[in-house]
Structure 1
Amino acid sequence: MTEKIRRRASSKGRTLDLIRSSGPISRVELAELTGLTQATISTVVRELLTDGVISETGRGESTGGKPRMRLEINPASRLGIGVHIGQDYITYIVADLAGTVVGRKRVDGPGDDSPVSVVARMTDDIESLIVGLDLDRHSLVGMGLAMPGPIDRIAGTVRGVPSLLGWTEFPIRRALATTTGLQVELDNDATAAAIGEYWLGATVGYGSYASVYMGSGIGSGIVVDGTIYHGLSANVGEIGHVTVDARGPLCPCGNFGCLELFAGPRAIMNKATDAVARGELDIPLTGKTSVDFAALGTAAARGDATASALIQESADYMASAIVSMVNLFDLPLIVLAGNAFSTTGSIYVRTITRVLAERAMVRDIHPIEVRVSVNGNDAAALGAATLVLQERLSPRSLRSVAP
């Protein structure tokens, strides 16, 4: 791609992203906000109108001259499929250009099945979703695939994920692209969740933030000055493998005393299972970590002392790790995403907020807000759907306005 074509694609993406996030908006306002010339904006808008991605929605109020024509996104013109492969569940979501969920489906996770058999099952699931929703296949721009890390985005594989050990170096991106005929983008589930928060407008007013994702493991997606920070290999933000006890047990990642070994749902449920066996805790156990952790959270919310102590232990460790992350990146916002927060979110928000107020280096300079994701259990899947829309239609940067 030549530099001229790259600039045109960037201008087109920035313009589209601004119309999506701020429309209805006029051509003059687009030129002012992007810094692009009126001629460039006119050309870009004409292309977007031809593509059917935006539409003219009438004229605004007059400011003395001829009222300006307003532009807005055409949400249904493009759709993205988002898939999140977790330990216990595989979640599918179809979202439009506004980030609105058109349809969703959740099925059992991979379990001990081979990657080949899971891909075959996923292909059938995706086809049934497309047919069941009567989707226009021409409007589908592709599929976003969110998985726990570490990932290799170039090869389209995951490597050494504790919950998906049999998947190491399996070419999941190529396999799904081949069986479904869709273009597939692969990213870390925490990064996908961070993108989803932006698309739904949940981070308005914040140029930098982190989405801390807790499912079977713990990770984080980091946005710095409006841009997703991927690092060299798209494996930034592995907060679950930050050492919180240098003399702690060996983690499957090869490190000692990782956060996941103390705060992760599997670690907490190991203790909860022992407490159930001793008769100190009464919760149903299904063997599915996410389901059982939610039950533990429900018991904690009801005031069960043992459940509360276990969740609080996890929250305390999590808060300490997040203090380190805030100190490193000077973040004003932390979003907690993932199904692990479905019944426990308030405990984590309260604990992390308190610890940041006490220990963050910037505590006397600016506040740090902590909130639960607006996307609930669908954060990674919805983020994956918006990821592919972002990748195909907008620039890599999440910024819609040039600095």
Structure 2
Amino acid sequence: MKQTHRRESSRGKILDLIRVSGPVSRVELADMTGLTQATISTAVRSLLNDGVVLETGRGESTGGKPRMLLELNPASRLGLGVHIGQDYITYVVADLSGRVLGRRRVSGPGDASPMTVVSRITDDIDRLFDALAVDRETVVGMGLAAPGPLDRTEGAMIGAPSFRHWTGFPLRRALSTTTGLHCEFDNDATAAAIGEYWLGATEGYSSYASVYMGSGIGAGIVMDGTIYQGVSSNVGEIGHVSVDANGLPCPCGNIGCLELYASPQVVVAQAAEAAARGELNVPLTGVVSEDFAAVGTAANDGDPVALRLIGRSAEYLASAVISMVNLLDLQLVVLAGSAFATAGSFYVDTIASALDKRAMARAIHRVEVRMSVNGNDAAALGAATLVLQDRLSPRTLRSVSIA
């Protein structure tokens, strides 16, 4: 049994290296991994037989027979990503290189029952696959991203503020049954962190966090090249870090949680109050994501009230990020999620400035803060790469350590 696991682990490591470093020869793979030539040859033969790797020519001769080069065959396997958010459900189909082949966004679950939404999602997936003319035999599975906290063992959301009536519903099993697809399940922030890695946006950084802000706030954390899951896979709930020890009670049971002061829902509620007083002229629709984007647009246009609301949210978020950086000694913080689409620059500047002044290790190394390369699709694309990653090398993101 252990021998089989080692073979699968070696195969995954080699495939991931070919994906990142190709075109690459078998000899170079042996040098990078420390594996024997026999192990490399066995794994590569298996990958070639499965069609996920191609021999694409010969490299320059170093005195002997030119080495055959290996490259990923991106179209050989596809992953489907589904992100269930409060206002929208987003679908992404991506290939082995992380390239997006198609996407779809529909309205969120609202008050519909979980099984009704599962039926909707199943129909949406069928329509997306048909529109893209996807060969379903190439789809390795579905990555499902949802707001936490999660019970990954049961594949269920547990008490997420916008999905309280979903608590305990076996979402992963239901969707796997209705779609016939293997289903991986994780929180949206962790999915976003995996997506950043897959698209090469974290190259050179072995320890980083993806701070995801949609309806709530979470963080996906990578330590020494490995996704950190914690005991129950509910790591990174930065939205429920206390930023005011004498603050408001949170439904989670804590006091003064970040989400009570910095989340889009809170900013929109404050904007509605300001609009009612005649202090802010921003059209509000009742859809949190759209209204938060409107406040962000007003801030970009220089509206003083919108600037104050966004600025206050950014300052609270910066305080929580500083605590996370001080605890984990991170090199990079990536901001992902729909909430940063219009106001992201304010958050980047505020958090970066705060880290430069207040992070404990600031004299030793600077912590970079940047926007996600994946924009609004960060969680959905991350979910697609999540299921692909599971088929490559499930225990680690990076196949080799970073110097």
TM-score by length of 1: 0.99
Count the aligned residue pairs. Answer: 402
What is the CA-CA distance between 1:66 and the residue it aligns to? 2.1
Counterpart of 1:235? 234
The answer as to whether partners of 1:193 and 1:337 remain within 8 angstroms in 2 is yes
The residue type equivalent to 2:290 in the other structure is: V
2-side partners of 1:395 and 1:380: how far apart? 18
Summarize the alignment of residues 232-311 of structure 1 with structure 2, pairs less than 5 Å apart: 232-311=231-310
The residue type equivalent to 1:99 in the other structure is: G
Q: Cα RMSD over matched residues?
A: 0.8
The answer as to whether partners of 1:196 and 1:383 remain within 8 angstroms in 2 is yes
What is the CA-CA distance between 1:254 and the residue it aligns to? 1.1
Counterpart of 1:63? 62
Percentage of identical aligned residues: 70
Render the CA deviation track for 1:44-87: whole Å, top value 9, x for unaligned.
00000000001011011222322211101000000000000000
Counterpart of 2:75? 76
The residue type equivalent to 2:251 in the other structure is: P
Counterpart of 1:117? 116
What is the CA-CA distance between 1:396 and the residue it aligns to? 1.9
The answer as to whether partners of 1:82 and 1:93 remain within 8 angstroms in 2 is yes
Render the CA deviation track for 1:290-342: whole Å, top value 9, x for unaligned.
11111111110010000000000000000010000000000010000000000
2-side partners of 1:344 and 1:62: how far apart? 53
Q: Secondary structure at the match of 2:339?
A: helix
The answer as to whether partners of 1:338 and 1:378 remain within 8 angstroms in 2 is yes
Q: Secondary structure at the match of 1:339?
A: coil
Render the CA deviation track for 1:342-383: whole Å, top value 9, x for unaligned.
011111110101100100000000111000000000000000
The answer as to whether partners of 1:80 and 1:144 remain within 8 angstroms in 2 is yes
The residue type equivalent to 2:21 in the other structure is: S
What is the CA-CA distance between 1:401 and the residue it aligns to? 1.7
2-side partners of 1:67 and 1:310: how far apart? 63
The answer as to whether partners of 1:390 and 1:396 remain within 8 angstroms in 2 is no
2-side partners of 1:275 and 1:349: how far apart? 25
2-side partners of 1:230 and 1:8: how far apart? 24
The residue type equivalent to 2:216 in the other structure is: G
What is the CA-CA distance between 1:93 and the residue it aligns to? 0.3
2-side partners of 1:64 and 1:345: how far apart? 53
Counterpart of 1:148? 147
Q: Secondary structure at the match of 1:399?
A: coil
Q: Secondary structure at the match of 2:200?
A: coil
Counterpart of 1:131? 130
Q: Secondary structure at the match of 2:342?
A: coil
Render the CA deviation track for 1:6-29: whole Å, top value 9, x for unaligned.
100000000000000111111001
Q: Secondary structure at the match of 1:292?
A: helix
The answer as to whether partners of 1:35 and 1:402 remain within 8 angstroms in 2 is no
Counterpart of 1:218? 217
Summarize the alignment of residues 89-128 of structure 1 with structure 2, pairs less than 5 Å apart: 89-128=88-127
Render the CA deviation track for 1:119-177: whole Å, top value 9, x for unaligned.
11111001111111111111000000000000000001011100111100011001101
Counterpart of 2:40? 41
- With 388-397 and 207-216 compared, the bigger mean Cα shift is at 388-397
The answer as to whether partners of 1:33 and 1:402 remain within 8 angstroms in 2 is no
The residue type equivalent to 1:336 in the other structure is: L
TM-score by length of 2: 0.99
Instruction: Determine if the alignment matches structure 1 residue 312 to structure 2 residue 316.
Output: no
What is the CA-CA distance between 1:182 and the residue it aligns to? 0.5
2-side partners of 1:92 and 1:78: how far apart? 17
The residue type equivalent to 1:105 in the other structure is: R
The residue type equivalent to 2:321 in the other structure is: I
The residue type equivalent to 2:226 in the other structure is: T
2-side partners of 1:174 and 1:384: how far apart? 16
The answer as to whether partners of 2:227 and 2:397 remain within 8 angstroms in 1 is yes
Task: Structure 1: state its 5+ residue gaps.
Answer: none
The residue type equivalent to 1:324 in the other structure is: S
Q: Secondary structure at the match of 1:342?
A: helix
2-side partners of 1:302 and 1:26: how far apart? 53
The answer as to whether partners of 2:248 and 2:255 remain within 8 angstroms in 1 is yes
1-side partners of 2:285 and 2:27: how far apart? 58
Q: Secondary structure at the match of 1:343?
A: helix
Render the CA deviation track for 1:264-306: whole Å, top value 9, x for unaligned.
1011111001011111111111111111111111110010000
Q: Secondary structure at the match of 1:211?
A: strand
- With 62-71 and 225-234 compared, the bigger mean Cα shift is at 62-71
The answer as to whether partners of 1:34 and 1:402 remain within 8 angstroms in 2 is no
Counterpart of 1:53? 52
What is the CA-CA distance between 1:251 and the residue it aligns to? 0.9
What is the CA-CA distance between 1:402 and the residue it aligns to? 5.9
Q: Secondary structure at the match of 1:352?
A: helix
